[in-house]
């Protein structure tokens, strides 16, 4: 089964998107007693097709040195296993240094990336952040609102097209 990783700095909405895509299935993989891990795995089923989705949670969240911490074995292993990365940014609050650092890191991975701006409940909300988001160098993001369920179908279609 194909594996898709959600990657982004803290607070961009990774877990909200994960829950939106995986829905009720999350509890099954989350509630394993005695198992501690820094990421969450679920399954997305869509029109007879399926993929495994990973919320990378805290793995990419070290404000001190986000890149060096990422070199941890588990993280590299996880990235290696990903068939596709969802690089999630905040389309409303905009870009931070953590986004830029993550961008540089992701660019060096030879991975298929779907670039997504979350929290875009309206075009107006995206407008202020747009320039900085384009400057990250991943092109035009798919604009979604994970919390409000906007353009989730568009995102899923793109994921299956790229897998």
Binding-site residue set for GTP: 8-15, 55-59, 118-121
Judged by CB under 6 A, the chain residues 104 through 133 that form the site for ligand GDP are 118-119, 121
d(CA 115, CA 37): 26
Give the single-character DSSP code of 153.
H
Candidate residues 7, 12, 113, 159; the one interacting with ligand GDP per rule CB under 6 A: 12
Nearest residue (CB) to Mg ion, 9 versus 143: 9
Q: Do residues 98 and 90 lie in contact, with contact meaning Cβ atoms separated by under 8 Å?
A: no
Residue 87 in contact with residue 98, Cβ under 8 Å? no
Report in angstroms how near the CB of residue 2 gets to ligand GDP at its nearest.
22
Indicate the length of the chain as a whole number: 163
Question: Binding site: residue ranges?
Answer: 8-15, 55-59, 118-121
**Which residues from 13-72 bind ligand GDP, rule CB under 6 A?**
13-16
């Amino acid at each position: 089964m194909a594996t898709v990783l959600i990657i982004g700095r803290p607070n961009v909405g990774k877990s909200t998107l994960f829950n939106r895509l995986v829905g009720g299935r999350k509890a099954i993989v989350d509630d394993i007693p005695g198992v501690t891990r820094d990421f969450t795995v679920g399954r997305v089923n869509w029109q007879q097709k399926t993929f495994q989705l990973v919320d990378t949670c805290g793995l990419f969240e070290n404000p001190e040195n986000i890149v060096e911490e990422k070199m941890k074995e588990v993280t590299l292993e996880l990235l290696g296993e990903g068939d596709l990365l969802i690089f999630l940014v905040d389309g409303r609050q905009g870009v931070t240094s953590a986004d830029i650092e993550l961008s540089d890191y992701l660019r060096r991975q030879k991975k298929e990336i779907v670039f997504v701006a979350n929290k875009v409940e309206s075009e107006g909300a995206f407008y202020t952040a747009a320039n900085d988001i384009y400057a990250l160098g991943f092109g035009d993001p798919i604009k979604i609102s994970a919390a409000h369920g906007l353009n989730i179908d568009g995102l899923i279609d793109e994921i299956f097209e790229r897998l």
